[in-house]
């Protein structure tokens, strides 16, 4: 046994050393330009994660069909982080150091991005555009505050803005003063709860009740009853599809019709699939909705998604966001080259951009603002008979368009259709 061991050991050792070397940037000019992605491809958050990858792949297919970036093709290298920050961190290292990616699409879990941000800024130094994670501290991170290069960018909803938007809608647009909070203790719910409380404070209000629930809760009866007893006129919430399904089911069981406004975690068809009719009447903030009139570009992408994947979109904002992110990268790479630091710098200098989420007629990002969207870009939607309908205000009254010709007003107390 001793004799074989030495030889095989040397062989193994040798190959272990040389294989990763082939991936180093020095060799990279002979292959495709690699963009990395680590997000939840399995698990309860997979409906978002898979759609990010699909959006990215559709964008890359489009760019490659037009000749790629100066003749070189793009390639998406994806990993399943199972919505788990531990894996995300390891996979980011692996993607950058072993796979040689020059840019990344952001993950599905805010906690993952919070974990990875310092490492990206200090060690890995590749630009990341996030379509899905909204925790403010990701982009407003240590490096940004210290004035160093900030590699994290966002084209999706962002925390501070969303918190403002939800509270402002409830208070200023819908006229509620007694606000109750019902948040998930999971990662995203923690930041969300912080944002909601902050905004209420800024408006000089206190929540009448501040309830939470965790992932193993399937019956929110105690919390909902407490909110009712506290006199909540409107409940604000941050949770994902799974947890919110239980909430709205409990609400339905109790016959509770208190207006319920949630963050964009439930702004995708996956929610209606899981919750069914119990989701009727729930409001959610979002960046886009695919129900209702669409621009021709969006329609084209919806078509392409259907033909390529033969399945309905579960998280449209993810698809569009990822699509825009890839095109942003492509635009900057064509102009400034593929060195990650140059891409990063270039992103801060994109004066206009026709994106699917939004048509930007102002710089997408600036040195101090790494969030592409502002509160003005957000919309409030209502789940109505399986569709996510945008709420518009007609002489101050909230209305939705249930079909092309009909607009229905929402009742001021419990927001049912009049």
Partner 1 sequence: MQFFLQVALSGIATGAIYGLIAVGYSLTFMTTKVLNFALGMWVMIGGMLTYSLIARMGLSPILALPVVMVSLFVLGVVAERVSVYPFLRAGSDVWVMSTLAVGLLFIDFAELIWGRSPTPVPSYVGSEPLRIGPIVMLPQQILILGTAILLFLLLEYFYRRTLLGKAFRAVAHSAETASLMGINSRLIQLTSYAVAASLAGLAGFMVVPLTLAEPQLGTVLGLKAFAIAIIAGLGAPGGILLSGLAYGALEGLISGYLNTGLRDILGFSLMILVLFIRPEGLFSKVQAERA
Partner 2 sequence: MSRRSLRLLCVMSVAALLLAPQLLGGTYYIFLLIIIFIFSIAAIGLNILGGHGGQFSLGHAALMAMGAYVSTIVSQALFSLPFFAASGLHVWIGLIVGTTVGAATGAALAYPALRVRGPYLAMVTVAFGWVVWKILQEWVSVTGGDLGIASIPKPQIGAWVLDTRHFYYIVLLLFIVSLGLQHWLMSSPIGLRIRAVKHSEIGLASVGVNVYRLKVWMFIISAAFAGCAGALFAIQQNYISPDNFQFFSSVFLLLAILFGGPGTFLGPVVGIAILTLLPEFLHDFDRYRLIVYGGFILVTLYFLPRGVMGPIESRLRPGVAPRSGCVVPVSGRLGIAGLAVKLEQISLNFGGLKALSRVDISLASGEVHAVIGPNGAGKTTLVNVLTGFYQPSEGRVLIDGQPRALTSLHASARLGLARTFQTIKLFGDMSVLDHVVIGLPAGYENPADEADGLIDFVGLSAFRDSPASSLAYGHRRLLEIARALATRPRLLLLDEPAAGLVQEEIAKLIDLIHTLRHSGITILLIEHHMDLVMAVSNRITVLNYGNVIARGTPTDIQGNAQVVEAYLGPSHVHA
119 binds, among partner 2, partner 1, none (CB under 5 to 8 A by kind): partner 2
Residue span binding partner 1 (CB under 8 A) among the ranges 44-52, 59-67, 197-205, 380-388: 44-52
294 touches partner 2 by CB under 8 A? no
**Shortest gap between Cβ of 1 and partner 2 (angstroms)?**
9
The per-residue b/e assignment along 24-48, b for 16 or more CB within 10 angstroms, e otherwise, is eeeebeeebbbbbbbbbbeeebbbb
**Shortest gap between Cβ of 191 and partner 2 (angstroms)?**
7
Site for partner 2 in 198-237 (CB under 8 A): 214
86 binds, among partner 2, partner 1, none (CB under 5 to 8 A by kind): partner 2
Query: Of 148, 253, 335, 407, which one interacts with partner 1 (CB under 8 A)?
Result: 253
Site for partner 2 in 58-97 (CB under 8 A): 79-80, 82, 84-87, 89-90, 93-94, 97
Q: Are 111 and 89 in contact (CB under 8 A)?
A: no
Site for partner 2 in 333-352 (CB under 8 A): none
Cβ proximity to partner 1, 104 vs 274, nearer residue: 274
Interface pattern 196-225 for partner 1 (x via CB under 8 A): ---------------xxxx-xxxx-xxx-x
Three-class secondary structure assignment of 204-259: CCCCCEEEEECCCCCCCHHHHHHHHHCCCCEEEECCCHHHHHHHHHHHHHHCCCCC
Residue span binding partner 2 (CB under 8 A) among the ranges 15-23, 47-55, 310-318, 398-406: 15-23
43 touches partner 1 by CB under 8 A? yes
Cα–Cα distance for residue pair 266/48, rounded to 1 Å: 10
312 touches partner 1 by CB under 8 A? no
Give, in order, the Cα–Cα distances in Å from 121 to each of 5, 131, 343, 364: 42, 18, 14, 20
47 binds, among partner 2, partner 1, none (CB under 5 to 8 A by kind): partner 1
142 touches partner 2 by CB under 8 A? yes
223 binds, among partner 1, partner 2, none (CB under 5 to 8 A by kind): partner 1
208 binds, among partner 2, partner 1, none (CB under 5 to 8 A by kind): none
Interface pattern 158-197 for partner 2 (x via CB under 8 A): ---------------------------xxx-xxx------
Q: Which residue has the tokens 């399904």?
A: 245
Size of the site for partner 1 (CB under 8 A): 32
47 touches partner 1 by CB under 8 A? yes
263 touches partner 2 by CB under 8 A? no
185 touches partner 1 by CB under 8 A? yes
Site for partner 1 in 263-292 (CB under 8 A): 270, 273-276
**Shortest gap between Cβ of 406 and partner 2 (angstroms)?**
42
Residues that bind partner 2 (CB under 8 A): 2, 17, 20-21, 42, 79-80, 82, 84-87, 89-90, 93-94, 97-98, 110-111, 114-115, 117-119, 123, 135, 137, 142, 185-187, 189-191, 214
- Chain residues binding partner 1 by CB under 8 A are 42-44, 46-47, 185, 211-214, 216-219, 221-223, 225-226, 229, 242, 245-246, 252-255, 270, 273-276
């Amino acid at each position: 046994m001793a004799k074989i061991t030495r030889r095989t050991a040397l062989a193994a050792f040798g190959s272990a050393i040389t294989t990763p070397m082939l991936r180093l940037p020095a060799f990279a000019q002979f292959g495709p330009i690699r963009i990395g992605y680590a997000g939840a491809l399995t698990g309860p958050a997979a409906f978002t994660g898979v759609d990010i990858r699909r959006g990215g792949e559709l964008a890359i297919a489009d760019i490659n069909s037009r000749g790629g970036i100066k003749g070189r093709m793009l390639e998406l290298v994806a990993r399943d982080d199972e919505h788990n920050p531990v894996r995300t961190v390891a996979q980011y290292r692996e993607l950058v150091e072993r796979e040689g990616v020059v840019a990344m699409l952001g993950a599905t879990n805010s906690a993952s991005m919070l974990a990875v941000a310092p490492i990206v800024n200090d060690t890995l130094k590749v630009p990341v555009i996030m379509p899905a994670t909204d925790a403010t501290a990701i982009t407003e991170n240590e490096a940004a505050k210290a004035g160093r290069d900030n590699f994290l960018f966002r084209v999706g909803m962002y925390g501070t803005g969303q918190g403002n938007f939800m509270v402002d809608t409830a208070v200023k647009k819908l006229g509620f003063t007694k606000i109750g909070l019902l948040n998930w203790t999971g990662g995203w719910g923690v930041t969300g709860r912080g944002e909601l409380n902050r905004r209420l404070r800024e408006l000089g209000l206190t929540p009448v009740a501040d309830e939470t629930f965790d992932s193993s809760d399937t019956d929110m009866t105690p919390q909902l009853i407490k909110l009712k007893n506290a006199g909540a006129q409107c409940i604000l919430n941050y949770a994902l599809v799974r947890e919110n399904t239980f909430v709205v089911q409990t609400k339905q069981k109790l016959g509770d019709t208190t207006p319920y406004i949630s963050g964009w975690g439930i702004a995708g068809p996956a929610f209606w699939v899981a919750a069914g009719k119990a989701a009727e009447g729930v409001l959610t903030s979002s960046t886009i909705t695919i129900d209702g009139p669409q621009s021709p570009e969006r329609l084209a992408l919806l078509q392409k998604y259907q033909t390529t994947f033969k399945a309905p979109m579960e998280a449209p904002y993810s698809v569009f966001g990822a699509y825009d992110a890839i095109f942003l990268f492509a635009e900057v790479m064509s102009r400034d080259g593929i060195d990650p630091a140059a891409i990063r710098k270039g992103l801060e200098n994109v004066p206009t951009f026709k994106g699917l989420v939004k048509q930007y007629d102002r710089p997408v990002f600036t040195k101090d603002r790494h969030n592409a969207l502002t509160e003005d870009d957000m919309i409030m939607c209502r789940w109505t008979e399986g569709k996510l309908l945008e709420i518009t205000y007609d002489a101050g009254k909230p209305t939705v368009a249930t079909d092309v010709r009909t607009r229905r007003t929402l009742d001021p107390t419990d927001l049912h259709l009049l």
